[in-house]
A and B are shown apart, each in its own frame.
Chain A
């Protein structure tokens, strides 16, 4: 994955930083999804402060990476979208957290 290898010239631990997660908006979305079982689109929009368009785009990117599943249903005539972190997404988020910790720990004071 090209995005994952973006920082070849930097410190070696930076290479391992998952660029799909590293974007602030996607990191915020994943943070909320990490601490719950699932949430709908409206809830995520309120929590993250993103616009509908932005949230849609970032969720599509996360879905492409296999980090979230998006289940769309209709409640009456209204669309309702539930978003859930996949096992792969959960593992990737944990790894991201670990790697970021390492990167920051490696920095000199």
Chain B
């Protein structure tokens, strides 16, 4: 109990403790994984269904993460309800993320409608910039610094993939390689964080009302 006390630092530490279990990283990695695997499926399922087929996969991952958080993480790290300042910031984050997704959607429609007239790099650049903006805003608003790294990796993935396609004839625009590396990085970081959490926060053994006045 020798750490310096600062209200801002305490609040930040409290809030960021929610991301130290690595489960968000794993979820993000699994979402990005779609971009790596979907190109293999698009030939047989078509562009739409090769993406839709991932919805039950994401639902399963989300369910697994929810169960893990409830039965593995929470008993180890405890429960906290954040104050009004942080809740306001989370609301702002939700609104901004909705706007970013709306912009991405509109850009996607524009790219699809004008695919023939746009230069080949333009839709890829739009996707990269939108994703970089989204991840960076999320990283800033949530004090979740790893999101900056994922944002950069995610933004670079289509650009590098396109470069691999043009120069090295990489299949599927290089997406399986570049998005695979990005997804793999996020999942690996998440797994490492999760293992660290299990090691650093063992299950409390004195969790009994008979031991200590408030053994909870």
Contact = CB atoms under 8 A, between A and B. Distances in A.
Contacts of A42: 75-79, 204, 207, 216
12 contacts: A24-B1, A27-B5, A35-B10, A37-B82, A38-B81, A39-B79, A41-B216, A42-B77, A44-B78, A46-B17, A56-B215, A57-B213
A3 to B, nearest CB: 20
Interface in A10-59: 24-25, 27-28, 31-32, 34-50, 52-53, 55-57, 59
Contacts of B77: 42-43, 46
Contacts of A78: 207
A50 B216 contact: no
Contact of A60 (B78, B81, B201, B213): B213
A60 to B, nearest CB: 6
Nearest to B76: A42
B211 interface: yes
Given A25-B1, A40-B80, A42-B75, A79 B209 contact: yes
B119 interface: no
A53 B75 CA distance: 18
Interface residues of B, number: 31
A47 B204 contact: no
Chain B CB within 10 Å, residue with most, of A36, A42, A56, A79 = A42
A88 interface: no
B214 A41 contact: yes
Contacts of A59: 213-214
Contacts of A103: none
A70 interface: yes
A31 B12 CA distance: 12
B83 to A, nearest CB: 5
B56 interface: no
Given A32-B14, A56-B212, A40 B79 contact: yes
Given A45-B204, A78-B207, A31 B79 contact: no
A8 interface: no
Given A43-B80, A56-B215, A48 B7 contact: no
Contacts of B11: 35-36
Interface in B70-106: 75-84
A40 B83 contact: no
A57 B215 CA distance: 11
B143 interface: no
B35 to A, nearest CB: 36
A81 B80 CA distance: 11
Contact of B79 (A43, A50, A55, A79): A43
Contacts of B169: none
Closest 10 CB pairs of A and B: A43-B78, A81-B216, A42-B78, A41-B216, A35-B11, A56-B212, A37-B81, A40-B79, A39-B80, A56-B213
B14 A79 contact: no
A79 B216 contact: yes
